[in-house]
Structure 1
């Protein structure tokens, strides 16, 4: 990324494709479960007269025109039948306690020039977000949003903190270029779009469910409690659609799938 890192052990996302995208958990803390390519199971739509659950997607200024809309499109097509609204500066809907009170899930998407600059727009909302999650809300942070689930700066929603994966010990990613990486998702190899995302240093003994690890064993995708709420974070981009790969000339050996994204979303909103 242009400019300096926010701190020595934390690297924010840098510009990639059409937008700015944004230790190790001990073996005892990893909770392994079985997986595969599940067949899509359609959930029942909301009962007649009932509104679909609301998801708020941050779409404020962060140098990324595509990141929020990409997640919003994914959510609108999700089997959970979500309603989606944008929040943040410039959207006409501020990120406040009153706005959050109407939602089931808040999404902090990828993208951003640097954490400090984006945090200037989010700092005033930080206490409202923390209180809302603590009271039972759900936070989903993707890449840059995963960094912001950590601390200094960030919402401080994780039992631990974040660290840049590219160039870290045992990393298969030497630099910040857009690429496709292999992860172990429930113990099975899967491939995901990646651009300078975080690894999650979760405290030993934390009640975290690690859905996927990088090839060096570090947590890549995790869901953890925060008070009565839940926090889902991903270093790679499960929301990446075919256009992301096409624009960078990349290929996903598994094909471009949505099952990992939907599993992460479901794990984040489930109680």
Structure 2
């Protein structure tokens, strides 16, 4: 068992029962539907609608159960069988299940994750085109002057710098474990309220380096005047999007459909979908349009 269901979890389930029923054709469909869950973030709801929409196109009766809370809550729902599938980030899920993991590359994370999953829970292929890792940022002027292009380049300097830290909006939240960057131990960390505050701190020099928990494009303009350091060596563990689900509930045709989604979904797509939902498009409509565009 991952976790026992909490009182908070039960309360949420009561609140969203109507939402599950509403997406089905009738009460019989609601009871027989394969339920795709979503946490509280926009990203989680978008992923739920993508997976649900893709599975529905195979003829499966599907419902989406939203607002399941944070990782402990929705994994408890999956473990208890209240939902059959939910979208995740590979590295964060692995760290949640195995806090001692040292896996970093996509392949290492996938192998370690499959070993760490509880009995009866499996994952499909990760979307290799998605990269939801934190981004390390420098003022562009500093990066150009000192020829700093990658996280590896700043390794010798990390011990001299206090890093500004900010959370990217509307994405799956990282685990509660402290930020760990292989080969880069900052002298300190300064929490900042958002990506805009992080950009200002970098440009005015109050923070010499910054870490944003996801793609800067989620906050348009957040990287203006900044350099985003590359991380080809995976100093930060891989964070690819993938579905986690209950074993034996999906046949080969439906698993293949999930893997087709994995082959098409990119970071840019996911950011665009999140921005559309933030602007007022419903998650179901945004997901349906994306599936249509990719002939899924």
Which structure is larger by alpha-carbon Rg, 1 or 2?
A: 2
Report which of the two has the higher share of strand.
1
Which of 1 and 2 has higher RCO (CA within 8 Å, sep 6+)? 2
- Normalization by structure 2: what TM-score? 0.26
Report which of the two has the higher share of helix.
2
